[in-house]
Amino acid sequence: MSRAIGRLVLRRIGFAVPVLVIVAFGIFLLAAASPFDPIHQYYGVEIFGASAADVAAVRAQLGLDEPVLVQFWQWATGVSGGDLGVSRSFRQPVAQVVAERLPWTILLAATGLALAVVIALVLGTVAAWRQGGWVDRFVTAIGHALEGVPPFVLALLSIAVFSLGLGWLPVAGLTDAGTSVSFGQVAKHLALPALVLGISQSPWLVLHVRQSMLTSLSEDHVTGARARGLAERVVVLRHALPTALLPFVTLIGARVPELVTGAVLVEEVFSWPGLAAAVVTAATAVDYPLLAILTLVATAAVLLGSLLADIAAIVLDPRVAADG
């Protein structure tokens, strides 16, 4: 099994490198076609008082007068040497911007995914166990209804109810105004955005677990367990559920792109200090170095999620072929 996993990892790394290069180059091409002028975003309102000579000098200093291919090559050679460049929009090294914001995005995404998995396993299993009952009908109806609701709509509704209406949870930010970062403060401010992100990702997972459980409950080994007189709870949790977990793990890996998109939207609504604000700022400012790195981080997260899902599938069922 370890050899199969090792070969899978090597194949995925070999696949990921050209994908990341193509994605980064595509970002440079799209940014070059953007209607925004990076030098105007760099100057801000001061552009109206700057002379043409000063603007041209700054453009040359930033390398914006070079063709997009030259800019990409200079950026790529710098990244390969460990230099991620300097963000023009934040006036900071790109590595510093990412290091300050990435941990908070990971915290939000991981918490939201964990909540979505728990919700899916509990509700999907109960719905399949009580197929046709009111719980099954309720869970299925809510799942289908939430499939078409964007995360930012859920976020705004949750703020209206739990923050503005009931006053239970804070509206936005990482901590209360003037309060230092602490576990209690972060947990309180994380609760609502993580819950929104988890609920927004759960409908597909709940419905998938329900369907997988229904299929598993009709298989021979489950029928045999019932024929041996085992309690229904034992049959469901120890015989049917493990069989249903394999496709569920694969689905989690496929949902990583949606999780990344959902996390960006939720961060924007709740003013969470993650990478979302940096993505928006870098896009509007045509900040090549920062925009490219942030896109590569998101792409790498998707590729890593797919890899981890495949590894988990191999571990859960060694019969699965590790064909990459």
Cα–Cα distance measured from residue 272 to residue 264, given in angstroms and rounded to the nearest whole number: 9
Tens digit of each residue's pLDDT, the chain (324 residues): 677 777 778 888 888 888 888 888 888 787 777 666 666 666 665 666 667 776 677 667 666 667 778 878 878 888 888 888 888 778 888 889 889 888 988 899 889 989 998 998 889 888 888 888 888 889 888 888 888 788 888 888 988 888 888 888 888 778 877 677 788 888 888 999 999 999 988 888 888 888 888 888 777 777 787 778 777 778 777 777 777 777 787 777 777 777 877 888 888 888 888 888 788 778 777 777 888 888 888 888 888 877 887 777 777 665 555 554
Q: What pLDDT does residue 61 have?
A: 67
Q: Are 139 and 123 in contact (CB under 8 A)?
A: yes
Cα–Cα distance measured from residue 88 to residue 222, given in angstroms and rounded to the nearest whole number: 61
Q: What pLDDT does residue 71 have?
A: 78
Where do we find the tokens 């790394």? 13
Question: DSSP secondary-structure letter at 62?
Answer: T
**What's the alpha-carbon Rg for the chain, to the nearest Å?**
24
Phi and psi for 192 in degrees, rounded to 5?
Answer: -70, -50
Q: What pLDDT does residue 63 have?
A: 66
Closest CA to 200 of 258, 257, 247, 253: 258
Estimate to the nearest angstrom the gap between the alpha carbon of 186 and the chain centroid: 19
Closest CA to 62 of 76, 75, 49: 75
Where do we find the tokens 């590595």? 95
167-183 burial, b at 16+ Cβ within 10 Å, e below that, comes to eebbeeebbeeeeeeee
Phi and psi for 92 in degrees, rounded to 5?
Answer: -140, 160
Where do we find the tokens 């030098």? 39
Q: Which two tokens stand for residue 235?
A: 């049959």
Q: How far is CA 207 from CA 115, 229, 235, 261, in A?
A: 15, 29, 21, 21
